[in-house]
Structure 1
């Protein structure tokens, strides 16, 4: 392994706000709740079964009567709150439609439960629906509850005073097994997603590349089997990373490259590498963006945040493999020292790049980050993840991230992992004509191509830095990193997209 000059990380000067602690969860053996506040699953057309039906009997039919009166159809993800129904002080009815069929259905059930009972100050008993082929239903629902209850809060403001919401107790056939599964796996996923959301949500006047590097160091303090390396701008320049250095040279806050290495597998075994775009704010540089919605460019480092979050999840659950997150961090600003359209940068690989647009900067930092990761770790899989192009949103909307790879088997593996994790992917094409559009007269390649599909051009550019021997996937998450209205497991704002997907991918490699 090559050794690079690194810089010591300064003491934290500006920490993130005190994020509210995750709502506590417990597990008990499944039985009809005797009283108090409860959550009950309701099937299609308001059907009650199992413990929900038993609870209605205890309430002398009051729950079924309320369902009929309200016209509640039990649609998946919908809910209805009742108060004073028989022995129950409060009842939240959560629809399951045709029934929970996947882990994602259970996470949605848990998220609706947490959000629908957020104002309840007493402990809440949660009856969990069964889902076919899902082990430990209650544990998965509890994970969804904590994901759905996430709250970044307001910067610089203490958490709102008042009594917190009551804890959630999930009923399980084997409560001890459900708790073990949650403590080992569910809590680790929540920690990784929360880290990614916290970093992405932080305002960019605070979130410089150095600040983000410091936060990542702090997040992994004391986590076993993890080493964090931070390269400052001098080390980046010395390593020949002209694309990363050039992207950040217009900012008064210089770039950083961070590597979070987790060793949970066999000694010497090649890791899987997640390389994340980390533009801590993107003005577009000299090719400045239009004003509307530029504020959201605080989230242009979401790929880097999710890469770090994924490795935190793997480390906290003790995954039996080696993994590394490489965060290529820079701020893209239109200073007098910024790069210009028409400039030529030399990347770490020696490949030269003609700049067509300074707003196509994410692919620049990924080029050097990916090459460095391959040179340093020789990974058995390399994945780049980035809020790279607006074009991917035009193609896929807010339902899928774009998946690009030349490897059909890898594509199938990632598509299945997307379905299992609930972080959906859609494979998009790469074509030689898109690469031809990036042919440069003065450099090896241009960072854009006129008339070619934007998302595919971005992906093909990054692929130019993937070595032939490295299995490689590129993910464009530009339309998935920020939730404008919120849903059951993702409150409005930063999503942390990629953490659950990468955890699922890692499980496949662990099973080899």
Structure 2
């Protein structure tokens, strides 16, 4: 999709489809007053009929040679307007344009009295680009090409910059979805390592890959243990973006990337096991963020660490009852080999803290089914040891509408993972507080750095109860990319 800006004019616009937003209980298309009155009068009845209901779309042929169609897009009630309204509705517009097989379409940006212009164009771009994404890599017949978009708004350097930023962010989300959607036979730990190398080379980042033999030699006991049951060897992927002051401590992002999770010896049920290709979504999110940050050339120091394994029940697989030594020297009793994500994350978190002395660590993981039970499939769980960092992430959550919920972590939960034969065990007591006890295991890997763990098990891909959004078509959602990019920019 090519996107361009154009100043509104008082003459008719040459376009296959001119799109405008309509508030509920309004008789006007926002911004259309700048255009030919004949076009405006031809759609008055349609405005009344569609009523501006949120997400409702109406297309009216105009019998005009220049402006061939008018599209009305309902924004709902003004008092219900959110930071996601324009993004959501713009996605609906873009999908309609593609359905009509148009080569291009034009959107009139809503007035500044409704939404700040920079936010407006960002949401239009994100909604349109992300809603046109579809995972078709393995389809022999592809859908028609994406239409190009013109945004009508008073042009300025800030507006142009905002659109460019929104394009890069959207592309980061789309890239994250594209690799997360890959099937396990096409995406192994080595594949993710190769993707990272390509991104690093293209965007002037440093990339370091630690492989199986070196992992064992350097004391990454958790990553080595979980990955040893598969013929596809484990990898620890490290991406470095250092564009900030030399003496400034970096932020470290860590993402769980289990390219397929059978549960290991503690084998999962067969039903929906195919969805375990999405157990790599945390790592894919970090890769997508690093790609976008490098393309945005953000003047910050940032490190992405992705522990990647395939959890298989092979002859060399780790077992329930094993005791393994983690990177930080602590020992973990294995009671369930399907609680593998926390084990590889613990190694990566410890390495990130020891190697980089960061000012903050944020990890992403499809960690626990318990998080879906607690919060459903539209809100991610969050556990932290630092209120200031938590508050900043929550502010970014409000701006991006990638929703998260803060969960507690006190000594009672830490006690629930104490082991009688090792420093800790990899599952808590029964099913109680499963999301928090998993985070408690990770907390043992952090010494003093401000840290946030985000459990994306319910939001990383579309599931039965996932709220339908045009920019989240079936499959991986890329959750967390927009959230963290907002945090890093602010």
TM-score (ref. length: structure 1): 0.89
Cα distance in 1 between the residues matched to 2:316 and 2:426: 19
Alignment counterpart, residue 122 of structure 1, candidates 80, 103, 106:
103
Match of 2:90 in 1: 110
Match of 1:304 in 2: 283
- Note the C-alpha offset of 1:300: 0.4
Match of 2:190 in 1: 210
Q: Is 1:30 matched up with 2:8? A: yes
Q: Cα gap change, 1:58/1:139 in structure 2, threshold over 3 Å: closer, same or farther?
A: farther
Unaligned runs of 5+ in 1: 1-22
Alignment counterpart, residue 493 of structure 1, candidates 461, 475, 484:
475
Q: Is 1:380 matched up with 2:391? A: no
The answer as to whether partners of 1:447 and 1:461 remain within 8 angstroms in 2 is yes
- Note the C-alpha offset of 1:432: 2.4
User: Where does 1:182-261 land on structure 2 (aligned, <5 Å)?
Assistant: 182-183=163-164, 185-224=165-204, 226-261=205-240
- Note the C-alpha offset of 1:347: 0.3
Alignment counterpart, residue 181 of structure 1, candidates 162, 172, 179:
162
Q: Is 1:503 matched up with 2:485? A: yes
Cα distance in 1 between the residues matched to 2:438 and 2:63: 57
Q: Is 1:313 matched up with 2:295? A: no
Q: Cα gap change, 1:55/1:97 in structure 2, threshold over 3 Å: closer, same or farther?
A: farther
Further displaced range: 331-340 or 123-132:
123-132
Match of 2:404 in 1: 425
Cα distance in 1 between the residues matched to 2:83 and 2:292: 18
Cα distance in 1 between the residues matched to 2:150 and 2:30: 18
Count of residue correspondences: 479
- Note the C-alpha offset of 1:47: 3.1
Deviation string 1:85-106 (CA, Å, 9 cap, x unpaired) is 6563222211112349554323
Q: CA RMSD in A?
A: 2.0
Q: Is 1:143 matched up with 2:123? A: no
The answer as to whether partners of 1:140 and 1:182 remain within 8 angstroms in 2 is no
Secondary structure at 1:301's aligned position in 2? Answer: helix
Match of 1:169 in 2: 150
Cα distance in 1 between the residues matched to 2:328 and 2:128: 45
Q: Cα gap change, 1:46/1:220 in structure 2, threshold over 3 Å: closer, same or farther?
A: farther
Cα distance in 2 between the residues matched to 1:176 and 1:112: 28
Alignment counterpart, residue 389 of structure 2, candidates 405, 410, 414:
410
Match of 2:50 in 1: 72
- Note the C-alpha offset of 1:49: 4.2
The answer as to whether partners of 1:60 and 1:86 remain within 8 angstroms in 2 is no
Secondary structure at 1:27's aligned position in 2? Answer: strand
The answer as to whether partners of 2:323 and 2:422 remain within 8 angstroms in 1 is yes
Cα distance in 2 between the residues matched to 1:97 and 1:136: 18
The answer as to whether partners of 1:101 and 1:132 remain within 8 angstroms in 2 is no
Secondary structure at 1:279's aligned position in 2? Answer: strand
Q: Is 1:153 matched up with 2:136? A: yes
Unaligned runs of 5+ in 2: none
- Note the C-alpha offset of 1:144: 2.1
- Note the C-alpha offset of 1:500: 0.7
Secondary structure at 1:327's aligned position in 2? Answer: strand
The answer as to whether partners of 2:21 and 2:30 remain within 8 angstroms in 1 is no
Secondary structure at 2:371's aligned position in 1? Answer: helix
